[in-house]
Structure 1
């Protein structure tokens, strides 16, 4: 029976490239001259750490991150901006977590949406992904279109299409 998986993944290499591009842009921008700004990507915890001078600079770095993620074809909806906190030396820091995997609530919403359409497919939650199985490929493609048009605050990829 044909099937595919709905997943939410990010390419760590593309994220690293986007962060490096932001670091290069910060080094060349005039408004960041004389301000100690650190931007680092921690692959182990899937987070970007920002340390800079003031609130305006934090907003500028946030905008640059969104821009460079879009350029590298990484959906900026994976960025989960934490709250801005002061550091001991008078600067501000912010942790930006990268959302990966489909949480249980979102997976349940997806399954409920699929069942509500009465398309002849089965949807099953498997860890951080949803597997959709059906008899016809057209039904599976209809489900992909449904998920793409749904306003869920996550980017999804459709992998392991088996015929």
Structure 2
């Protein structure tokens, strides 16, 4: 039976490349000269360091630009609160979301059931598996999910025929 998985996960290779580009861009900018502004990455967590809140905002803007140019959806980012560290320096932890949360998965299943398409949806951990008798029904379900669910960055993988 044909099926596919609906997932929400960022391409971490592209995220790493975008962060490297952003750090290189920041080191060359005149308004960041002499400051300790940088972005560090550990697994699914980014930490932005800056001297002032204005610089942190500029740092995030550069990072978002680089991420979007590399095709990473910025809806994956979950900004934490701004913390003061030694002296006048500040930092902000930005988490990269991975997987579909239970409420969102239930919403996807409800949208698919309400659509009256001849497909079934089931929650499989942090993904939603959609199965159907025909490939055309599955492609229609993909198009409908892209159109109806705007608040989540959805990707479709594991397509089986």
1:124, 1:95 → 2: CA distance? 33
Q: 1:62 aligns with which of 55, 60, 72?
A: 60
Q: 1:14 deviation in Å?
A: 1.1
Q: 1:71 deviation in Å?
A: 1.1
1:77, 1:133 → 2: CA distance? 27
Deviates further, 121-130 or 71-80: 71-80
**CA RMSD in angstroms, aligned pairs only:** 1.0
TM-score (norm 1): 0.95
Q: 1:156 deviation in Å?
A: 1.2
Q: How many residues align?
A: 161
Q: 1:52 deviation in Å?
A: 0.5
2:90, 2:25 → 1: CA distance? 19
- Equivalence for 1:84: 82
Give unmatched runs, 5+ long, in structure 1.
none
- Equivalence for 1:93: 91
- Equivalence for 1:35: 35
2:139 aligned counterpart, secondary structure: helix
1:40, 1:147 → 2: CA distance? 34
In the TM superposition, what are the counterparts of 1:1-163 in structure 2 within 5 Å?
1-43=1-43, 46-163=44-161
1:147 aligned counterpart, secondary structure: helix
1:139 aligned counterpart, secondary structure: helix
TM-score (norm 2): 0.96
Q: Deviations over 1:76-95 (max 9, x none)?
A: 11111111111122111100
Q: 1:136 deviation in Å?
A: 1.3
1:154, 1:59 → 2: CA distance? 24
2:93, 2:4 → 1: CA distance? 34
